Structure 1
Amino acid sequence: MQSSLSTQIIALAGLSQAICLLQSLARHNKLEPELYQTTLASIANLNPESPLAVYGDDLNKISGGLQTIITQLEDSTKRDVEFTRYLVGVLALERKLNKNRANMAELGKQLAQLERQLQHFAVTDDTIVGRLADIYSDCISSLGSRIQVYGQPDVLKQTVVQQKVRALLLAAVRAAVLWRQAGGSRLNFIFQRRKLVAAAKHLLAQTTP
């Protein structure tokens, strides 16, 4: 994939949205159904016709992520430190995954098997969510540097919530892969901050209020 600022923003919006859903789940045990479905569906969309196709070919489905990018990068007084920790952690995990051929091969194998299951179940079905959680544990958690999830202890101790957390982290890693493929790196947050914000605003302006 050629380096593209537009693709970088779409990927970063998808990553941001996965993190925001994770925070809502961990803090309040709440998920917005349509955004949750779009985010999980992105995991199995490995050969999209376009970058936006990863997220249902609809900017409205990642508008929350676009707004989060703007808030996080433009106004330091509104920056969510916990969000930043998740973002840094996911990008670090993706870098480790990219360097580990065995885990990458296993991830591809398991996602191919997932495609067959999705012919019979919705991506938000408990069966699929449990499978996504297993894939994350098998292919990502084993790399080390596990991400600490913050939230309500009585919520996070629930098995179904733990599975959803891992599924959302897998979706975040998937977005991080797209980010890297489009030329994204840690240096972009330092040297291209204004360009990222401007691009996010440009795409957000195309969404439906």
Structure 2
Amino acid sequence: MINQLSLNQQRVLALAGIIQAATLVNQVAITGQADTQASHCALSSLFVANPERTEDVFGGEQAIHSLRLGLITLKSIMNQEQSSGIKDITRYVLGLIHLQSKLSKQPQMLNEISTQLNHSQRQVDLYELGHANVLASVAETYSSTLSSFNFRIQVTGNPTYLQQPMNTNRVRAYLLAGIRATTLWRQLGGRKWHLIVFKNSLQRELDVLLNQLSH
């Protein structure tokens, strides 16, 4: 049973959602594979339009466990690990925050994304969440909207994997899930400068959530 979350814990949860999406992008780019539970959480979040609670976006009562990968990776980032994977994930996260800030000023594009995701929902109903048709539909939403900005998130990794159409679609779908989580984080009052100014508070709340993973 998930404990009642404070506002700061909700922000950490949303931040973990951004980081989890970025980590999935990195996994596909490097290995051609992605964590199954984390992938389901990221893709599912795209179809939660009117959540009652923050955790509902990430699986409700199972939100903390569904965001396990994101929470653990956030801990690595906070500990300033210097691996190439962490550096790339951090770069993707900062890119998502920047891209979402541009999107937030484009209400027409936001409406278009919502409309296209409604179409993708019908694909989910026909097939299943991770089906190639669903991934292609969600990826097309990213391509036809967010890819129109001058700023692009440059994904680096193994070209053998990145050039496969299925993986291209997965990367774009995860990036869109990252935008979804970033939008939620901002709605909760999250700002980029908080990551520096409130670092100690962020670490404390993160440790509380990580502790719940062991229960």
Which deviates further from its counterpart, 51-60 or 162-171?
Answer: 51-60
Please list, as runs of the form range in 1=range in 2, the aligned pairs for 1:54-69 lying within 5 A after superposition.
Answer: 54-57=57-60, 58=62, 59-69=64-74
Aligned to 1:135: 141
One-letter code aligned to 1:60: H
1:199 equivalenced with 2:202 (yes/no):
no
TM-superposed CA distance for 1:115, in Å, is 2.5
Contact 1:66 1:204 in 2 (8 A): yes
Deviations 1:14-65 (A, max 9, x none): 1111111111111011112222111111111121221111111211111221
Deviation for aligned residue 1:137 = 0.7
- Post-superposition shift, 1:95? 0.3
Aligned residue among 80, 84, 105 for 1:76: 80
Does 1:42 find its partner at 2:27? no
Please name the residue that 2:3 is paired with: none
The alignment-based identity, stated in percent, is 31
Aligned residues: 206
Q: Which runs of 5+ in 2 are unaligned?
A: 1-5
Tell me if structure 2 keeps the 8 A contact 1:43–1:171.
yes
RMSD, aligned CA:
1.5
Unaligned 5+ segments in structure 1 are: none
Deviations 1:61-116 (Å, cap 9, x if unpaired)?
1122112112212x224462212111110000000000112211111211222223
TM-score (norm 2): 0.91
Alignment check: 8 A CA contact 1:13 1:62 kept: yes
Q: 2: CA distance between counterparts of 1:171 and 1:77?
A: 24
Assess if the C-alpha contact under 8 Å between 1:133 and 1:164 holds in 2.
yes
- Tell me: higher relative CO, structure 1 or 2? Use CA pairs within 8 A at least 6 residues apart: 1
Tell me the TM-score normalized by structure 1. 0.93
